Every structure is written in structure tokens, then in C-alpha cells.
């Protein structure tokens, strides 16, 4: 080989090495362009009410979410990466939620907002999170019809809407033979919308049904006069769109009046905490919609949840809020697992859009698509029997007749 040939060969090899180094650098830079993702971890964020009046839901919900994450991390994480979860306390306040969202995205550099808590609260952050930062929000606790019709880019949920729960309750009460139904709800616009949906479920079952809305002061503590009025009106059934303490207060006053109508409750009151507040027997027989199967189920998925909660949140007793958090996070993690290739936000959206009939064993079957970002419209049904919530039949569709 001549000196000139050797020089040319050195130039070619050197150029190839330099190109390889450059390509490697570009590859690393590209990987680093996905916020919240390294070769060792995926950073996730959420906001939840850890203080304030809704903390009794937010705290156990967080325990369920983090117990699911702990279980997955103990098995090696997702795609060889551990999940790091940062939770900001929004105290159920929209303004605090926006501030939390900005911190999570701009300072904590999260990959995604996963299983946050609150309807109006989360919606307040949509403009910044979805439109400006273009960070996905997946499987929140909460929801509204305008979240999903039309679908919003980057927003996916697995929790059926509260209006649909009201239709299920109305249909259920009518199918049970009740034709004079009173709906008691806190006098807020969002609750009025839910109350107005009860008749939409009841009327197709029996045309002679009468559904009367009965608004009360939100957070009312004195249910004596209300119970007396109900006893005089003598409804066959009462649908309760109230919080746990209000449900218990009304039930006690109805008992004092010697009046015991059939009681139907919306999803958030399905909790073991309600049973503890009410005491033995007060609410036995009450029926309600539920996001999840009963916590006493012996199914493998519910057993897994109970074991995880005992390990990662031993201060929490199994309950429906933590089980809901576990199920929502489990579904999100399944979408992460199904990503083909490196985890990017675009790949996450693609994975979600391809998910069909995913069975978490906790939530009803979940299916997403580009046109369907609300992955579930089904509710479990439960009844309080001897102080325990027990399953009633199979899940029913809040958007269809059943």
C-alpha cells in the first residue's frame, strides 16, 4: 500500500469513526428529547386532594396508585425502567391544580400526567397541559362529556361519566319496580346535571315513572326537616347524589321518622368508610353504582391489590378509592408495556389507540381508539348486605339499555 493509499484509508476510517461517534451522540440526544424518560426511569406526575374536604378520597386513591407502581417496580419496572411518581396536593382547587401542572411539567420534567384527581380541577389545567405543553393526561379520577366529545388530543380516560351513573341508577330503580323516585343532590350545577339524567334512565323502563329532583344545600348537616318532608311525600325510592356524611345523616333521620324507602347511591359513596360511619345495619340494602368490583372479591386481581396495599400502604384498609386508583394505574401501565420501541409520548398515544378489551380484573373491559378516548362506559353494581358491599350481576353500560 502506497503512502497516498494509506493516507486515504486513514481518512476513511477516521471519518467512519467520527460519523459513528456523531451518530451515537445523535441517538443519545434523540433519546433525551423525550422528557421524563431515561435509560433507568420514567417520571410520571399527578395532582390529588391530599388535604381539604375531599382528602378522604384523594389519600386512599393515591395509596392505590402508588401500590400498583410499587408492585410493578418490584418486578423490574416497564421496559427495564422504574416508574417514578410525583404527586402534588391540589386540595381540590382548580388554581392550585394549574400551579401543580406547571411544576410537574416545567420543573419535574414528567413524561405524562397519570391518574390525576378531579373533574373541574383537571379541566382547569387542560389549556396548559394538553394545548401548550402537549403532555398526555391518562386515566384521571373524574370526567365530563365534553372531555371526550369530540376527543381531545392527549386525553384518555377509563372512568365512566357521572351522568351515565345517574342513568344506570334510574334504570335500576325502575326495573326494581319503583315508579315514584326522588333524587336528592347538592345544589350545584354539576349535581343538577347528574340529577336530570336519572329520569333518562328510568323513563324507557316504565312510562308511568315520576322522578322528582330535590336539591339541598351542599354540605348540609341538618337532614331532620328533609327527612320529615320525604316521609310525607312517600317516594318508593330515593337516589342519593350526596357525600358519605350526608348519606349517613339523612339515613339516620329517615330511620327516626320510621320511613325506609329503597336507597340508591352514586359511585363515590361506595366505600367501606361509609359503612364505618353509618354503623351496623343503617344502610343495609342500599344499592349503588361502582367503578370497580368489590374489595372482598377473591379474584386474582383483587387479591393482588390487597397484597400490594398491605405492603406499600399498610396504613390504608382496602377500599374502593384505593382500588380505583390501582385499576386506573394498572391500565395506564399496560399501555406503557405495549409500546413498540422506545417510550415516547407519540408511542404512548399509539399504544392507547390500539388497546382493545383490556381486562385489568378490577375495572370493566377497557377499549380506546383514535375516535374513542373514553375507554369505558360500564359500571359495576353493588349492594350493601350485612355491612359489606357485594356484587350485583355483571357490569352494565351507562350509555345503553340493559
Same structural domain for residues 347 and 207?
no
One domain, residues 315 and 177: no
- Domain total in the chain: 2
Residue 156 shares a structural domain with residue 185: no
Joined together, the cell numbers standing for residue 391 give: 356484587
Together in a domain, 259 and 178: yes
In a domain, 245, yes or no: yes
CATH code, domain carrying 250:
3.40.50.2300
Read off the pLDDT of each residue in 176-198 and give the average, rounded to a whole number: 95
What value does the mean pLDDT of the chain take?
92
State the residue range of the domain holding 74: 41-160+297-371
Same domain, 91 and 227: no
Asked if 271 and 307 sit in the same domain, the reply is: no
The reply to whether 250 and 147 lie within a common domain is no
Pair 148, 61 in one domain: yes
Is the pLDDT higher at 54 or at 347?
347
Kindly state whether residue 22 falls inside one of the protein's structural domains: no
Q: Is 6 exposed, middle or buried (0-12, 13-18, 19+ CB in 10 A)?
A: exposed
**Same-domain status, 146 and 254:** no
Burial category of 16 from C-beta neighbours within 10 Å (exposed 0-12, middle 13-18, buried 19 and up): exposed
Q: What is the pLDDT of residues 211-254, one digit of tens each?
A: 999 999 988 889 999 999 999 999 999 999 998 899 999 999 99
What is residue 15's predicted lDDT score, i.e. its pLDDT?
Answer: 41
Q: Given the C-alpha cell 359511585, which residue does it identify?
A: 267
Q: Indicate the pLDDT class of residue 180, thresholds 50, 70 and 90.
A: very high
Alpha helices per DSSP H over 292-359: 300-312, 320-337, 345-353
Is the same domain home to 225 and 92? no
Contacts of 156 (CB under 8 A, 6+ apart): 136, 137, 138, 139, 352, 368, 373, 374, 375
Q: Are strands 378-385 and 287-290 parallel, antiparallel or unpaired?
A: antiparallel
Asked if the structure places residue 86 within a domain, the reply is yes
* Model pLDDT for residues 107-141, shown as the tens digit of each residue: 999 999 999 999 999 999 999 999 999 999 999 99
Residue 23 belongs to some domain of the structure: no
Residue 391 in domain: yes
pLDDT tens by residue, 87-100: 999 999 999 999 99
Question: Is 231 found in the same domain as 197?
Answer: yes
Q: How many CB atoms lie within 10 A of CB 234?
A: 10
Amino acid at each position: 500500500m502506497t503512502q497516498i493509499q494509506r493516507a486515504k484509508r486513514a481518512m476513511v476510517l477516521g471519518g467512519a469513526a467520527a460519523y459513528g461517534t456523531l451518530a451515537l451522540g445523535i441517538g443519545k440526544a434523540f433519546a433525551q428529547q423525550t422528557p421524563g424518560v431515561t435509560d433507568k426511569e420514567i417520571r410520571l406526575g399527578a395532582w390529588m386532594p391530599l388535604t381539604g374536604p375531599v382528602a378522604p378520597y384523594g389519600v386512599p386513591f393515591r395509596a392505590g396508585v402508588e401500590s400498583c407502581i410499587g408492585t410493578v417496580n418490584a418486578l423490574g419496572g416497564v421496559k427495564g425502567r422504574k416508574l417514578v411518581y410525583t404527586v402534588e396536593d391540589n386540595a381540590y382547587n382548580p388554581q392550585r391544580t394549574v400551579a401543580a401542572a406547571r411544576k410537574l411539567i416545567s420543573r419535574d420534567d414528567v413524561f405524562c400526567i397519570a391518574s390525576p384527581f378531579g373533574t373541574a380541577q383537571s379541566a382547569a389545567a387542560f389549556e396548559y397541559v394538553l394545548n401548550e405543553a402537549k403532555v398526555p393526561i391518562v386515566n384521571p379520577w373524574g370526567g365530563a362529556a365534553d372531555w371526550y366529545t369530540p376527543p381531545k388530543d392527549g386525553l384518555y380516560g377509563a372512568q365512566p361519566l357521572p351522568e351515565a351513573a345517574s342513568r344506570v341508577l334510574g334504570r335500576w330503580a325502575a326495573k326494581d319496580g319503583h315508579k315514584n323516585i326522588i333524587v336528592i343532590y347538592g345544589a350545584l350545577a354539576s349535581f343538577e346535571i347528574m340529577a336530570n339524567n336519572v329520569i333518562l334512565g328510568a323513563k324507557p323502563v316504565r312510562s308511568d315513572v315520576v322522578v322528582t329532583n330535590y336539591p339541598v344545600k351542599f354540605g348540609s348537616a341538618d337532614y331532620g326537616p328533609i327527612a320529615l318532608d320525604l316521609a310525607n311525600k312517600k317516594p318508593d325510592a330515593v337516589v342519593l347524589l350526596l357525600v358519605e356524611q350526608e348519606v349517613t345523616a339523612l339515613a339516620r333521620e329517615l330511620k327516626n321518622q320510621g320511613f325506609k324507602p329503597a336507597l340508591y347511591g352514586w359511585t363515590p359513596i361506595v366505600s367501606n368508610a361509609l359503612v364505618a360511619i353509618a354503623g351496623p345495619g343503617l344502610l343495609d340494602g342500599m344499592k349503588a353504582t361502582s367503578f370497580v368490583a368489590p374489595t372482598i372479591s377473591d379474584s386474582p386481581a383483587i387479591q393482588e391489590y390487597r397484597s400490594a396495599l398491605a405492603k406499600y400502604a399498610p396504613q390504608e384498609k382496602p377500599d374502593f378509592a384505593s382500588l380505583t386508583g390501582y385499576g386506573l394505574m394498572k391500565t395506564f401501565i399496560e399501555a406503557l408495556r405495549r409500546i413498540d420501541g422506545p417510550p415516547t409520548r407519540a408511542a404512548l398515544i399509539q399504544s392507547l389507540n390500539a388497546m382493545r378489551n383490556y381486562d385489568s380484573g378490577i375495572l370493566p373491559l377497557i377499549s380506546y381508539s383514535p375516535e374513542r378516548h373514553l375507554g369505558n362506559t360500564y359500571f359495576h353494581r353493588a349492594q350493601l348486605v350485612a355491612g359489606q358491599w357485594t356484587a350485583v350481576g355483571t357490569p352494565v353500560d351507562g350509555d345503553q339499555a340493559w
